[in-house]
Amino acid sequence: MSKPAVAPTLILSAMPSEIRLIQAQISGPKSGRLTGFPYVTGSLRGRRVVTAVTGVGVTNGAMVAALFIQAFRPAEVLVSGTGSRFNPRIATGDTVISTKTIHHAAGNLTDRGMIYRKVRGPLAGQMTHWYYRPDRRLLKIARAAVAGYAAEPVTVDGGTYVPRVLTGVVTASDMFGVSDAKIADMRKKLKPDIMEMESAAIAQVCTQLGVPHIVFRAGSNRTQSNPGSAYRLLGQKAAAAAARWTVYFTGCLAAAAKQ
């Protein structure tokens, strides 16, 4: 009797630049399309994976996550990518393992800023939250993996350093840039480390569908109202840093599965 197939790890990134390095490390890669959305599957550090680009924003992230979870029934979902550096403690290339992933546009916008609140979910009597925590097992593996990880140096503004991998808070919405007033309100109420555009929606889909998830986001530019040129300058460095960590973490997942 043949062994049942092991459920794959689904790895999602918003941009091709964020998934490209991960896909380059896949052994025996095979390309496909799911309702028009391209993906690459194969073996990554001993783990069967499916990798795909979601596109930017909460709707794209939720849509692609739900479709791929339904089709591939993954054992877990990893979100790998970039985000602006909200907290000054985060340097470009530092990768944040999210301990809380927040919808920072969910609730009531008042003269005193946001009042965050739950909203009615798709099932009768169910409310969905404005933040989500990662799977405990995945977070435990990620925390333990940090000690053995050797990040590649990055050069920013003429200085070269080795970026860190650390835990923190990630926030997301469809806002690419935010005003100083919004930054101050978020800092006071949420204390985020990274701001981006997809992870909270993906985390919500995973939680709703009962699939373990974890979010990895590397810092690019600082959070600001008009980040376009700064992101173009630093986004590639952040994308590579997050991708390298995700590849390493996937190997740690494979090792944990053998224990």
Counting Cβ atoms within 10 Å, is residue 143 exposed (0-12), middle (13-18) or buried (19+)? middle
Whether residue 1 lies inside any domain: the answer is no
Whether residue 3 lies inside any domain: the answer is no
Calpha distance 40→10 (Å, rounded): 10
The residue ranking higher by pLDDT, 256 or 248, is 248
Whether residue 2 lies inside any domain: the answer is no
Whether residue 82 lies inside any domain: the answer is yes
Number of domains within the chain: 1
Give the domain extent around 56: 9-258
Whether residue 17 lies inside any domain: the answer is yes
DSSP code of residue 26: -
Name residues whose C-beta falls within 8 Å of residue 24's C-beta, 6 or more positions apart in sequence. Answer: none
Residue/partner pairs of 156-164 with CB below 8 Å, 24 or more apart = 156/91, 156/92, 156/93, 156/234, 156/237, 161/91, 163/91, 163/92, 163/93, 163/94, 163/95, 163/218, 163/241, 164/91, 164/94, 164/95
Query: Which token pair is 239?
Result: 């994308």
Whether residue 208 lies inside any domain: the answer is yes
Whether residue 19 lies inside any domain: the answer is yes
Domain with 147 in it: what CATH number?
3.40.50.1580
Question: What is the pLDDT at residue 2?
Answer: 47
Q: Average pLDDT of 205-234?
A: 90
Calpha distance 218→79 (Å, rounded): 11
Does 1 score more than 50 pLDDT?
Answer: no
Tell me: the pLDDT tens digits for 46-93?
Answer: 999 999 999 999 999 999 999 999 999 999 999 999 999 999 999 999
The residue ranking higher by pLDDT, 197 or 2, is 197
